[in-house]
Structure 1
Amino acid sequence: MKRPAWPVLRLRSHLAALLVVAMLLTFVLVLGGLLAYQVPRIEARSHAAQQREVAEMRARMELVLQAQRRRLALLEALIDAAPPQTADAVLDQGVGDGRVLRAIYRLSPQGRVVAAGLPPALRHQREDVLGSDLSADPLFRAVAGRPTLVWRGTHVSVLDGRSTVGVALSDRHGDVLLAEVQLGALVDAVRVAAGTRAASVWVVDRTGEIIADSQQGQDVGTLNIRNWPLMRGMLREQPPVERFEHGGTQFHATVSHSAALDWYFVGRMPVGWAHPQVRTLVLSVVAVLLGSLVIALLVAPFWATRMARPLDRIIERADRSGSGNDGEDPWPRSSVAEFNRLACDLESLTGALQARERKSQAIFHASPVPMAVSDTDDDDRLLDVNRAWCKEFRYRREDVLQRLPRELGLLADPQLRAGLRGTIERGEPVGDLCLRRSDGSPVQVSLHARRAQLPSARLMVWATMDVGPMRLVERELRELNQQLESRVQQRTEALAGANAALSRTVEQLRAAQDDLVQAEKMAALGGLVAGVAHELNTPLGNGVMAVSAMGDALRGFQEAMRSGVRRSALDQMLESIAQGVDIAGRNLRRAAELVHSFKQVAVDQTSAQRRRFEVGEVVHEMVVSLRPSFHRTPYRIEVDVPASGLVLDSYPGALGQTIGNLIQNAVLHGFDGRDHGTVRISAGREDEGWVWLHVQDDGRGIAPEHIDRIFEPFMTTRMGRGGTGLGLHISYNAVVNVLGGTLTVHSVLGAGASFVLRLPTDAPRTGGHNRPADTVAGSRTTSP
């Protein structure tokens, strides 16, 4: 048996693994569903909070920068009210310690620096700054000539070229105050506004430069997002891009635009694992899953062992039953319904196996063939023998079991033992062998052996059959066969002589059959001639009588002339002559018709003349020729055949002879003993090239046991009473062999018979009518 590809484990291991997998699968599904449900909710809440934070930060930043604007406006008012030489001091006070404002410059309408306010650490550079021409500065150019306030996030400091946030304010006189705001101050303001929230915020001007960043300001001055889809969408006032990637991390973007500052506040919220709350939730789920796994690994083995313990007891009980140590103890039961059912099934199976073993032993011992079972691995030690074996070799069963054949002396010739073992090993038949019974008497047996391969042993089943009497019978049969050969030769010679005599008899019977056929034909023709002669006798007699009457009338008239002719005598003579001529004419024409029909039938029957003819013509002529024989009988012939339209190029004589035979057969057999009867002849066209003709009577019908044989020669039910059994046979041969058609019959006993002819319009032209008259074709009982 092929071993499975996977390792074989105990049931408790499978149960433990099943419990662990089930628990883990449950937790994975539940916790996975929790993650799938909570993560989108966490991100949605974070996005909503981010929108609020960005909006609040934009508002606070506007407040901070508006405060700086008011400071500049106040400084502008102070400078206008103070003497010109105090302008630098006023501006120095406005700068203060330089943590927010790095420098303030007062510019003339032409862009020259006329005053400068610096923090204490930079006041030594005042002289370098005064008089500088800043007319090309973008901020100055943005506010020159109009009272307004302009902010610029990327302003280059006049002092040292550092990047600052510039703000310019123009008064009504055309003077301009230009202040440089520390980027660090803006970053601190943004960071304070963000607090400890998860979202980070960029402050971006219209050029894409990041002015401030709430996350330690690490992107300020180093990152420009002008070419990002996010910035392009903000500048075009299109719907903002919801997600973007930066530094390998996906972010959810929230944008708020400050119209007053023309700055964009871009909130960034990490998506997925980078989100702190999502990461905390996932780590919590993993921790719960690992804890569940630890609990499952601790609980599952104990539970699996408890479940598998009843099955172990059932297996132990099954092992005892299989080894024969069943005992009377009951099969174990447990709290598991399936184990109880298994125990019940094993109990039933064990009982069935024991019953089957007892049945096998009963069959083994009841076998009439002597049988023995031996162990091939233990020098063919006998394990079991049946009663027939003990009876045949005259041993007791207990004296044979567990003994070797050589100890019992079973082989009459011990030297054959090695050869016998080799023959069995090669799978060859053993054949006859001479064994010895317990009393030493030899017995000739036919030995058969078959190997039985069991999982735990190799057994050999032996079957012996006493063939001594059979071999004796075989010798006697061989001697009889030798004698039979001579007897068979003698019998063959006798059969050859009998066969020759039988052949001569058959030839004589065939000659007699031909003679009878000719005699039947002549008898039919004689009957036809006798009928016609009888029919002719009437019209000819009437004609003779009419002529005699006219002669008598003439002689009377002649005698009357001697005494004188009277008019009345002349009229009487003329009336008698006219009546006689009429009677003689009609009867002579009738006789002529009969002679013509008889001549036509006779010529066709004797010469087998082939010609074109109408079927109705032949039927009419045959009926006319047969009516004399029906004249004094109660039987009638009805004809339903068209006078034209059924033209055959065939043999009218054979057809007329067949119709006549069928009509005479109906009168002779169908109407026998009946005081009425009708033969009806009908015909018509069937398929192209074929014509059918029915000859049907309402007579007695044909018995079922005769209908299959009516066309055979000499088949008649009136043998010895005027029937020869050749009429239908001749008709069948004429239709099949001469006309080239078929003749079938259908009959119901007591309801008449119907003969059906199927004729080709063009009969065979090559010798079909020269076949032997006794040829009989297949089935003849198929109704059309």
Structure 2
Amino acid sequence: MELLSLAGYGFSAEMKQVKEQVKGFETVFRHSKDGLAIFKDGIFVDCNQSMLDLVDLEKKEQFIGQGPVHFSPEYQFDGRRSAEKALELINRCYDEGSLRFEWIHTKSTGVPFWCEVILTKMVLDGEEVLHTNWRDISEKKQLELKLAEQKESFETLFNESMDGLAIFDGQQYIDCNKAFLTMFCFQRKEDVIGIHPKNISPTFQPDGRSSKDAALELIKSCMNKGSVRFEWLHQKSNGTVFWTEVIIIKVTLNGTDCIYAIIRDISEKKELEFQIYERNAELDQSNRDLQHTIQDLKQTQVKLVESEKMASLGSLVAGVSHEINTPVGVGLMGITQFIDETKAIRKSYQQGELDEEMFEAYLNSATELSQIINKNLERTAHLVKSFKQIAVDQTSEEERNINLKDYLDEIIFSLSSVARKSKVSIKVDCDDNYNVVTNPGLLSQLLTNLIINSITHGFSDSTAGNIEIALRELTDKKFSLSYKDDGKGIKKEDLPKIFEPFFTTNRANGGTGLGLNVTYNIVTNALGGTIRCRSEEKKGVEFTIVFNVKERL
């Protein structure tokens, strides 16, 4: 009896323990923050409040009797039908005992959300059922998806970047993008992975250092500083060398310090730098040449004054020298500013501070300065050429294409200083479509002689004067030039003699009497034309010149 009593006590204690376990399980089931449910024979037979909250239902009756597919979209994230995939997972759980997986469920409102699902086979009231645990992982999944998108974006940026990108682990390249392969003429990544930067560089860099030593030094500097920017002469797989701008950055991948390299082809930029350098050198040389030209002009002035035949050009030289000083001065200022800006942009570049906006501003400024310098150099060269055309012998001039209107303006321009000094106004009337092939130096010399003759003789007793020049077309290759001034004119008895050599009415003041004789010979011999003069005292003078050109354009 005592033994039976003890046995009954032991059974009672065991039952009590079981009841407590059941009560504890039920407490956990009811109060868990995860959605819990009991699944049997294809439907849910029980659930906790958290499960109702999870699917936005108010009563158990709305949940019990439904299957997992009722709270799922038609298709899962992998494209499979929810009904088909759910049946497969349920069967697996019955076979394996438990299963964990991710699933897209839907609330009663139809809003989808991500769940982590744990299915556990268990026996309840003597029957096999599945204990279902749903945990909302929407935030976690969104983060995972966002990270996956970012990873995909980074991979896209890496692979599609126009710059060559590569990762170097300190011993060899372990990855690169398509632009890197194209830049170095490789066909496959496998051709790059495993090689060292020295393998895609010439033996020596432009500064004389070996590429191997220079690369090791830069890698060490990057590891210490975190990043380094520099220019590097690389070599393609076909042996072609080219300039690059390289940025190397220290990064950590899988716990290992690596170098992320950004390589940009700057061959065109370097070529532009070389061109700018050469242009600067040319401008410096042009400036020196201009200074020598001015000195030569001054020496020529002395020689011309001493030459009787070209004595009328003495005053012209001084005017040309005066006119040259202005464009030369502007040119000197421009090249000085150009050199200063080049030094500043080079300094910014060497310090790694040069950006696209600064470089574009420099190019715009360089273009503007170059145009200013070029315009003034052309003006100076124009003056020098005009002077030379007058100074040299007429037989040495070459025939070339000219626009008669432009060339007349050029001649007047070269004499503007002399004309201003004497307060003489010169007007030209000529159509701008007279394009011809002729000897322009001859036209320059005859017109210069006439203008200097007017200033020296016609306006010698006047404080000011006017000259009118008109050019008209007679035939396709023949033109008429009318030259008038309102000076003191020529005496009737002197008029027949003005083209004779050495005839002058101003010998006391240095006149040689050769100016109009040279003009006559140019027109009648070199240009195959005629020249006539009409004049009355105190009514000025008029020369009518007919001349031929070689070709009409």
Calculate the TM-score normalised by the size of structure 2.
0.37
Structure of higher RCO (CA pairs closer than 8 Å, 6+ residues apart): 2
